[in-house]
Amino acid sequence: MKKTLTLLSLALSLTGFSQYREFAELAPATLEEEPLTPSFDYFLEELSVFQWEWDNHECHVDSIDLSLSEDTIHLNWVDRRHGSFQLPMNGQLRSKFGWRGSRYHYGVDLKLSTGDTIYAAFDGKIRYAQYNRGGYGNLVVIRHYNGVETYYAHLSKFLVDTNQYVRSGQAIGLGGSTGRSTGPHLHFEVRYLGNAINPEEVINFETGELISKEMDITSDVFSYKKEMRARRYHRVRSGETLSALARRYHTSVSSICRLNGISRNSIIRIGQNLRVR
């Protein structure tokens, strides 16, 4: 009893009780073995998930670089309480996770028509829902119960507000082309503690199903970051030549040409971003 009381007062001091009530009201009461109100352990666990770096105005949390971590974190994508997954939308995969020229594309792009409905992939709470000047346009970020966040960008309309709880499959916005976008599409990201995960390691976009109900998060999932650290780019300034760049970065003209898909006779422009390593 004493333990329960301590937990209760800790819980109440950690957050307003209204937040807890909001959550309790959302909890499904259909399964017989499911308690109507969550256990306090469960409650505290979820509190910390929705408190850590909970910022409604910055789209990215301060990331802990998991490519340097030696730990293995076991994640469940769905559990008995937060039970389901739904594809954010049914659309052809137009662009994959990975390098796009000198920039890294941290998500996948799904083709859509402006106005198509976008759904929450998993249960969670809206951490961010506003116009983002960094290129995402109208962006919704949902934090899920396992701590993972999903990003839905370039929306034409918001159907949710920050700090609102959502269920998997709930409509959160309409697709569009706001922000840095060349046509209507959904840019979709999956991030854990700020680290982007290739969505195709989580979701099979052809079948619309999860690759697996669980996943081990190790540094291998973020090995692309090592490759990113190894890469070097150089913005060409007036008077610079390929051979000058090769000398400067202790490499060869042919290597720079190979990395950029150009020939040694190619004309390089001022302001061009060349990969040199």
Residues that bind Zn ion (CB under 5 A): 109, 187
> Minimal CA–CA distance to 77: which of 194, 168, 207, 188?
168
Residue nearest to Zn ion (CB): 187
Minimum gap (Å) between residue 199 Cβ and Zn ion: 10
Find the helix or strand (DSSP H, E) in which 243 lies.
helix 242-248
* Closer residue to Zn ion in complex, CB, 166/196: 196
Question: What would the two tokens of residue 194 be?
Answer: 């700020």
* Closer residue to Zn ion in complex, CB, 77/136: 136
> Minimal CA–CA distance to 197: which of 82, 73, 54, 81?
73
Length of the chain: 277
* Closer residue to Zn ion in complex, CB, 201/216: 201
Q: How many CA atoms lie within 13 A of 47 on its CB side?
A: 21
CB 61 within 8 A of CB 193: yes
Quote the CA–CA distance of 38 and 25 in Å, as a whole number.
Answer: 10
Minimum gap (Å) between residue 184 Cβ and Zn ion: 12
Minimum gap (Å) between residue 110 Cβ and Zn ion: 9
Counting beta carbons within 10 angstroms of the beta carbon of residue 162, is it exposed (0 to 12), middle (13 to 18) or buried (19 or more)? middle
Minimum gap (Å) between residue 197 Cβ and Zn ion: 15
Find the helix or strand (DSSP H, E) in which 241 lies.
none
Minimum gap (Å) between residue 36 Cβ and Zn ion: 41
* Closer residue to Zn ion in complex, CB, 109/123: 109
* Closer residue to Zn ion in complex, CB, 66/139: 139
* Closer residue to Zn ion in complex, CB, 109/116: 109
Minimum gap (Å) between residue 272 Cβ and Zn ion: 23
